[in-house]
């Protein structure tokens, strides 16, 4: 347990992202076990049965990012997840038979041995930690024992962050559910727009060097974008007709109110310094800003609007266009994209974010049919 104590301050230092903390840990591990060439964590999304790349520290070989597959499509990993047993592979070539992108990638990097551990949070399976080495049979019993300790540290660190995020989302959800009673926004809108945000974030990730960790946080925090609407009086929020100037100003104040709520939640959980909490705040603060400076509340333009906000803005508008609202019919994906394109042409929206919607229309259709409004 001495190891845990010595490492704890770094691993739990919430000023850095999980990726940064994993890098520090990897450096330390290399002092004792030089053959660990890569440490990676994939996380599991139970709603979609998807295992997704999340964080990695890769010393040899090229990192694999932005990759996901159904856990049920990998019988061997599925077995580990349900049994809780770690797995050691001493010579990869002898066991890999499948021709998946993942196994081809493993072989191409020259990794020869692997040590894989399923990780859990409160008994619930949340993903895997992978240790890879270019050395054959690098993971003997002694190394396994040491790495298991490090793995539990990584597990703890991720669980801590997840439970912080979950608490935030849960308390926001309580607030939101109250607001939902007032029926301004449906739960399915939030489900859909979070998933659209994830699609867009993934698509623009290479161009903007966004990590998988960033993409997952955008997905998690996107549903909070309008949290400030719980502070808007029903007379304005639920007004059936168009708003007059003073009502519009009241409505626009949902951004400022949302920021206050987020700051309060972050303060209550004492995690203002959590590196990724900035993503949450930026989504709430900037999701009505437009690139040409015509948005609100600050009229920011261009690069002053952070990527997470541009992504959520496009996802939010796209879902509004393709949803049934009392004042408009449902638009098709193509019609909505044409409208978004117009907004790109006018200089308001990020072109790459809008392109991502059009390029992923098949996946978007799947999301639409899975999360339908029933009214």
Which parts of this chain interact with Fe ion (CB under 5 A)? 226, 316
**CB closer to Fe ion, 24 vs 169:** 169
**CB closer to Fe ion, 74 vs 263:** 263
**CB closer to Fe ion, 317 vs 344:** 317
Token pair, residue 327, equals 């004042």
> Residue 344 Cβ, how far from Fe ion at the closest point, in Å?
19
Structural element, H or E, at residue 45 = strand 38-45
Antiparallel, parallel or unpaired: β 38-45 and 113-121: unpaired
Report the Cα 307 to chain-centroid distance in Å: 13
Structural element, H or E, at residue 20 = helix 18-32
> Residue 226 Cβ, how far from Fe ion at the closest point, in Å?
4
Q: Phi, psi at residue 273, to the nearest 5°?
A: -95, -5
> Residue 66 Cβ, how far from Fe ion at the closest point, in Å?
25
**CB closer to Fe ion, 103 vs 186:** 186
Q: d(Cα 200, Cα 151) in Å, to the nearest integer?
A: 31
Q: d(Cα 300, Cα 312) in Å, to the nearest integer?
A: 16
Residue entry with tokens 């159904």: 70
**CB closer to Fe ion, 55 vs 307:** 307
Q: d(Cα 225, Cα 134) in Å, to the nearest integer?
A: 44
Beta-bridged to residue 113, according to DSSP, are: 133
Structure-derived torsion over alpha carbons of residues 228, 233, 238, 243, reported in degrees to the nearest 10? -90
Residues comprising the chain, all counted: 375
> Residue 197 Cβ, how far from Fe ion at the closest point, in Å?
11
> Residue 106 Cβ, how far from Fe ion at the closest point, in Å?
40
> Residue 186 Cβ, how far from Fe ion at the closest point, in Å?
10
> Residue 260 Cβ, how far from Fe ion at the closest point, in Å?
14
Q: What is the DSSP string of 284-334?
A: HHHTT--TBS-SSSS--BGGGS-HHHHHHHHHHHHHHHHS-BTTBPPPPHH
Please say whether the beta carbons of 80 and 116 come within 8 A: yes
**CB closer to Fe ion, 212 vs 226:** 226
Among residues 113, 111, 120, which one has the least CA distance to residue 154? 120
**CB closer to Fe ion, 226 vs 308:** 226
Please say whether the beta carbons of 150 and 157 come within 8 A: no
**CB closer to Fe ion, 316 vs 355:** 316
> Residue 284 Cβ, how far from Fe ion at the closest point, in Å?
8
């Amino acid at each position: 347990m001495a190891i845990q104590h010595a490492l704890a301050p770094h691993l739990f230092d919430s000023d850095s992202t999980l990726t940064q903390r994993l890098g520090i840990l990897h450096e330390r591990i290399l002092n004792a076990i030089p053959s660990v060439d890569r440490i990676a964590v994939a996380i599991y999304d139970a709603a979609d049965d998807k295992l997704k790349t999340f964080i990695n520290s890769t010393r040899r070989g090229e990192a694999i990012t932005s990759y996901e597959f159904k856990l049920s499509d990998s019988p061997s990993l599925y077995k580990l997840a349900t049994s809780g047993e770690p797995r050691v592979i001493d010579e990869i070539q002898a066991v890999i038979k499948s021709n998946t992108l993942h196994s081809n990638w493993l072989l191409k990097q020259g990794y020869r041995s692997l040590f894989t551990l399923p990780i859990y949070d409160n008994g619930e399976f949340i993903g895997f930690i992978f240790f890879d080495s270019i050395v054959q049979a690098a993971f003997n019993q002694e190394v396994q024992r040491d790495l298991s300790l490090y793995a539990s540290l990584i597990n703890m660190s991720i669980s801590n962050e997840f439970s912080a995020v979950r608490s935030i989302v849960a308390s926001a959800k309580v607030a939101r559910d109250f607001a939902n009673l007032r029926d301004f926004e449906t739960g399915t809108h939030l489900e859909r727009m979070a998933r659209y945000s994830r699609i867009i974030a993934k698509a623009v990730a290479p161009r903007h060097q966004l990590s998988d960790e960033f993409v997952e946080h955008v997905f998690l925090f996107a549903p909070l974008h309008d949290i400030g609407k719980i502070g808007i009086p029903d007379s304005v929020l639920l007004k059936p007709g168009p708003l007059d100037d003073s009502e519009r100003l009241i409505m626009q104040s949902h951004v400022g109110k949302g920021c206050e709520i987020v700051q309060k939640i972050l303060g209550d959980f004492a995690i203002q310094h959590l590196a990724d909490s900035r993503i949450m705040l930026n989504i709430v603060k900037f999701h009505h800003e437009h690139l040409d400076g015509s948005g609100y509340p600050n009229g920011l333009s261009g690069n002053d609007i952070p990527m997470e906000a541009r992504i959520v803005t496009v996802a939010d508008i796209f879902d509004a266009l393709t949803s049934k609202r009392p004042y408009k019919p449902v638009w098709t994906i193509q019609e909505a994209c044409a409208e978004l394109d117009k907004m790109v042409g006018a200089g308001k929206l990020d072109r790459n974010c809008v392109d991502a919607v059009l390029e992923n229309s098949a996946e978007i259709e799947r999301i639409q049919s899975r999360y339908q409004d029933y009214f």
